[in-house]
Structure 1
Amino acid sequence: MRRVRTTLPPARPFTDSRATLVVDSTAAAGSGRRKNGPPPGQGRKQAPVPPSRASGPLPVAHPRRRRRLTITALIALTVAVAAFGGWYLAVGQASFIAAPTVVGLTQSEAEQVLASAGLTLTVTDTAFSEDVAAELIVSSDPAPGFDVREGGSVDVVLSRGPERFAVPDVRGLSAADAAAEITGAGLTVGASKQSFDDTVAAGKVTETDPAIGAEVKRDTTVDIVVSKGAKPVPLPDVVGRKAGAAKRILSGLGLDVSADSKFSEAVAKGEVISMSPKAGTVVSSGSRVSIVTSKGPPPVTVPNLIDSPKSRAISDLKRLGLKARVLEAEATPLDRVYSQDPPAGTQIPKGSAVTIRII
């Protein structure tokens, strides 16, 4: 019987990159034994089983990406080292001193103080201050006592003094317009009061508190006074008073007085005959009040009394409202008027006397 030696063909490589199948290589020896079998008494090892497709793909190494990440990390590290070195050379080895106090000093005074410490001054801004006068330093950076590098600079802010706002002139404006002006000036509108005013129309602002033009702090409350118009005035009775006195009384109440005159037999010349509106009427201040003053009795034309009997002359004068002043001689045989004063045709007030001479 002929013995045949058979050699197994080599296993084909497993091309799936997700797993590798290890296959034992066997060869037919002359005696028919495996060269690499397990030791006696041990079971045969199983080859690894490729994972199923349902378990997901295994991560695949990308050498090019790893190389790029490595280069980026090296660059970042280099920059960080360089930055630290620059900081250390510029600041880390620098010497520091305590910043001097310059608040409250003028700029020139502060420059001298800082110069004596080997420092310089930089004005960075200005600011209003209620506590620090204008042109003085109100703050510094670094603050007094804090570290500043030798030879460095201290930033300062100069005071502009207290911040003040002028109360705007809102006289004659409506309450709404006045409020807008006050708010626009950086102030706050306060209470609105009302008051009678003879010169400002009703509904218009007459004054403010604080007063117009006053310099005050921001957001200061400004009260306004709004006119109620002219104050009502009850008219006093001036009838029978002299015209001058009546005018003074009415004008003192803020009234506009107009005067007229007419003849009156009942009211003496120069006295008030009547007034309009009547006494007791309530009017607004500034209203017009009319008074009528007496010019005395109306004039009378003197009649011609010459050669009139005395009795008739006297009766004629009496009828006209005139008085007769009779001058007689010791003897008056004719008992007639031979002269008169004033002469006939003269205009004289009623109630006046006419002198007649009798012969």
Structure 2
Amino acid sequence: MDTTVADPLVGQVLDGRYRIESRIARGGMATVYLSKDLKLDRPIALKVMHAGLAQDDDFVHRFIGEAKSAAALSHPNVVAVYDQGTDRQYVFLAMEYVPGRTLRDLLTERGRLGPRHALEIMQPVLAALGAAHRAGLVHRDVKPENVLLTGDGQVKVADFGLARAESASKQTKTGMIIGTVGYLAPEQVLSGHADVRSDVYAAGVMLFELLTGRQPHQGETPLAVAYKHVNEVVPLPSSVTPGIPPQLDALVAMATSHDPARRPPDAGRFLAAVADTHRNLPPNIDEMAANATSVLQSGPPAPTRPPVGAGMRTSVIPLGAMPQESTPRAPFLDRLIDFITGRFVLIALGVIAVVVIGWAVWYQTAGQYAKVPRDIVGMSAEQARTRLTEEGIDFKRGTAVYSDKVKRNHVVSAEPAPGERVKQGQVITIVLSKGRQPIPVPDVTGKSLDEAKKVLEDNGFTTGDVTRAPSSTVLKDAVVRTDPKAGDRQSPDEPVGIVLSNGVALPNLVGQPGDAATNQLRAMGLDVKVEEQQDPSKPPGTVLNQNPPPGTAVSRGDDVTLYVNKQDNCFLPQINPLCPPTNGQEMLAVPSTVGKSVDEAKGMLEGAGFQVDMKKAPGRGDDEGDQVLFQNPPGGNAPRGSVVTIWR
């Protein structure tokens, strides 16, 4: 922990409830303290915004709005937000206290992780990000420092929503972008824009770092690192650490593509690819990778932390800081332009003076005039009609416009303007308000009706008609969609309709890996109980049965029990090489086809006496690649006629 000797907040009680006991960490935007909730008698983590930012009303407004969104995000891999408040000059968040250490601490201790271990950490991280993305939240600061590891093996992601509030405030006011430079996606560096695919990029960089012990781009300054994110691709992990399987290279390359459209569209899709890869890794892959590294890698080991990026605070980079070419103007040309400009200004002023004097004479000597009432702006259409009629002024309506200051169907402006003279009987034009400027409708898909109404209200909208519709993916009583749909722009003065789900059928999970099935059900909001059974004829760790059965209509919070095969069962030896051969089967050597073309690989395997099943690797298109990335089983012996699976 940081020293707390000089910290004036230690020992104080904020909001009459939270007693600050010690300082945990200090970042670029806030300081985190270990505190005690005196009302509930429990430890919490209190994040207090730095005093300078607390004076920024725009930042505080966004901070509070994002805190509300983050508090509504309930997921076992997300650090919970309990409360938000202010006390004097202090603006704070009360959050779940997670004892343990960060993923950065683990990397500092270990240097790098094995492929299986790395993917086992990435899966709960991506599950947390996926839940946030479904709720319309973008993390914007995914890095090992924001991943917490508990003593009992839990993985939790912290700081949801705060980075989004920081980015929105700073970019709007100063043209800056905020994030940890080692994990910034190219589009964040170039424009400051970030969406869920920017989180996917940062997760891909973090996977690279877990596998290699270093970040992909390094430099002497944060700007140099940001430049590399824009102009250089993230290298393959195997080019830094020998022994990394090609399917993990494919995951990193897919997530860190410079083109956001080529990345997984959100963390949930990236999680599916990671889980599929993890499921097909050999059980001893971490030992295999470590042995390959010790044999093939020469020279000193890769540094565990790069010069720039790892452990850094959230950085602020000017959007215009990238080098740009410019051509200086000749001094002679400067003088010529200044001369012409000065002459032109004098002439223009003379013309304006003549026009003004002539207009004044006409104005005073013309016939009968009336004044457009000054108080007409803000009146309702009916009030304006009555007022203008009293003044003897005819009017017509112009094209209505949006206005954040004038209510709908009230006068925004008039032409001629209020206060100006017009001839008796002259027709003026009044412009009415269509309501406030359209803004994007927030995404409330998957939320309960009360949660959706609160999110809409927090964004300035009112709730319109609530209807129901069947859904194959959204649980009963949760929001299927809105009308208009999420992302469409609409004036907050127009109500937003909500469509609720009539329910979703429970999927068939029999035969799937138990961990993946459990994550899938929890992502649906279901309470999952896992019980072990034993069936030596089925792969270990897979689902043997489920209750309720597939097709049952379920709702958020319902209980589902998965019966998972014990991990120590033996079944077909080509899947588990530790099991003894099946009696009476002829065992043949399995040739390795990694790196071969698909046709060549099929010929080798079929010629050796095996059947071939070809699959597409995660992230590869139907017409992408004709080379075998990996196979299962990777080698050894297997019964004649058994199936060897290859991935292209």
Pairwise same-fold verdict (TM > 0.5): no
Which structure would you say has the larger Rg? Answer: 1
* Higher strand proportion (structure 1 or 2): 1
Structure 2 length-normalised TM: 0.19
* Higher helix proportion (structure 1 or 2): 2
Structure 1 length-normalised TM: 0.31
